[in-house]
Amino acid sequence: MTMRLDYLSIFPAYFDVLDISLLGKAAVNGLVEVHAHDLRDWTHDRHRTVDDTPCGGGAGMVMKPDPWGEAFDEIIGTEPDSSVHVIFPSPSGAPFTQSAAQELSSAVRIVFCCGRYEGIDHRVIDYARSMWTVHEVSLGDYVLNGGEVAALAITEAVVRLVPGFMGNPESLAEESFSAGQDGLLEYPLFTRPVSWRGLDVPEVLMSGHHGRIAKWRRDESVRLTCERRPDLTDSDFGVPH
C-alpha cells in the first residue's frame, strides 16, 4: 500500500529535497507519494496574508486559521476520517519517539502542518482534532523558526520504517532506540583499516569470539547509556546487585 504524505507550509520548497536520496527511491517505487503545498494558495488578499497579531497582546504574529481551514478542505476533505494522521511539529508538543515513528509507518496518509511565526491559531488544531488523528510533536527542547525541518526529520524517521523501503531490514533491528537494543544507546562501531592514524579497532572485535564480542558490545551500550542518558536507564539498571 502507498503512503501519501502532504506538507502544508509557507516555504514548500523545503520539501523538494524529498525527491532525492532514499526518499526519492521510495517515491519512485510507489511506496510513498509526496505533495507539498503553499499555504498562501488559500489566501485571497493581495499580500497573501497568513498571519495577524495575537489576541490578548504579546510579541510576534500568529498564523490565521482561515487559510488552514480552506487548505484542509481541499487537501484532505470535509468529512471526518480517523485514518488521516495530521502532525503539528511544535516546541510544546509531546516528545517524538521511535515508537511513534513505528506506529506512523503503517499510516495510509500523513499531513504535516508547518507552523511559522509564534505558532498557529489554536482553533486550527482543535478543528483538526475533530476531524482526523492529530499529533502535536516536539523533536526536542529548542525552538526552530518553523515546522519544516521538524517535518523532514519526522518524515525520515517514519518512511525508513515503511515495509519494503529499507534495502536491508535487519540493519533496522540493532539500532539505538529500537526494541532489540532494549532502550540502550548503540555501542561504538568500527570497520577497516584495523589501525588508522595510530588508533586501533578494539582487539576483542577482531578475536572472532562471538560471545566476548556480544559482551563487549552490551557493556559499551550500558556504559554509554549510563554516561549520556541516565533518563533511559530505569532505577536499578546496570548497577550490579
Ligand X SMILES: O=C(OCc1ccccc1)c1cn[nH]c1
- Residues contributing to the annotated binding site for S-adenosyl-L-methionine: 115, 139-144
- Binding ligand X (rule: CB under 6 A), the pick from 27, 134, 150, 157 is 150
| Minimum distance of ligand X from residue 127's CB (angstroms) | 17
Of the candidates 144, 137, 149, the one whose C-alpha atom is nearest the C-alpha of residue 103 is 137
CB distance 68 to 119 below 8 Å: no
In what helix (H) or strand (E) does residue 95 lie, and over which residues does it extend?
A: strand 84-95
Cis before 65 (ω within 30): no
| Minimum distance of ligand X from residue 83's CB (angstroms) | 25
Should residue 12 be labelled a site residue for ligand X when binding is judged by CB under 6 A?
A: no
Q: Cα angle at 81 between 90 and 4, to 5 degrees?
A: 65
- Binding ligand X (rule: CB under 6 A), the pick from 24, 91, 166, 176 is 91
Which residues from 92-121 bind ligand X, rule CB under 6 A? 115, 119
User: Which 3 state secondary structure label does DSSP give 34?
Assistant: strand
How many residues form the binding site for ligand X (CB under 6 A)? 14
Should residue 59 be labelled a site residue for ligand X when binding is judged by CB under 6 A?
A: no
| Minimum distance of ligand X from residue 94's CB (angstroms) | 10
Should residue 134 be labelled a site residue for ligand X when binding is judged by CB under 6 A?
A: no
DSSP string, 98-138: HHHHHHHTT-SEEEEE---TT-B-HHHHHHHHHHSEEEEEE
List Cα–Cα distances, 20 to 32, 94, 191, in angstroms.
Answer: 13, 30, 28
| Minimum distance of ligand X from residue 97's CB (angstroms) | 13
Amino acid (one-letter) located at 25: K
Should residue 125 be labelled a site residue for ligand X when binding is judged by CB under 6 A?
A: no
CB closer to ligand X, 12 vs 147 = 147
Q: Which stretch binds ligand X (CB under 6 A): 54-62, 100-108, 139-147, 225-233?
A: 139-147
User: Which 3 state secondary structure label does DSSP give 215?
Assistant: helix
- Binding ligand X (rule: CB under 6 A), the pick from 61, 75, 144, 172 is 144
Q: Which stretch binds ligand X (CB under 6 A): 87-95, 181-189, 198-206, 224-232?
A: 87-95
- Binding ligand X (rule: CB under 6 A), the pick from 9, 43, 90, 181 is 90
113/89 Cα distance (integer angstroms): 7
| Minimum distance of ligand X from residue 95's CB (angstroms) | 9
- Binding ligand X (rule: CB under 6 A), the pick from 98, 102, 138, 176 is 138
157/74 Cα distance (integer angstroms): 27
Residues of this chain that bind ligand X (CB under 6 A): 89-91, 115, 119, 138-140, 142-144, 146-147, 150
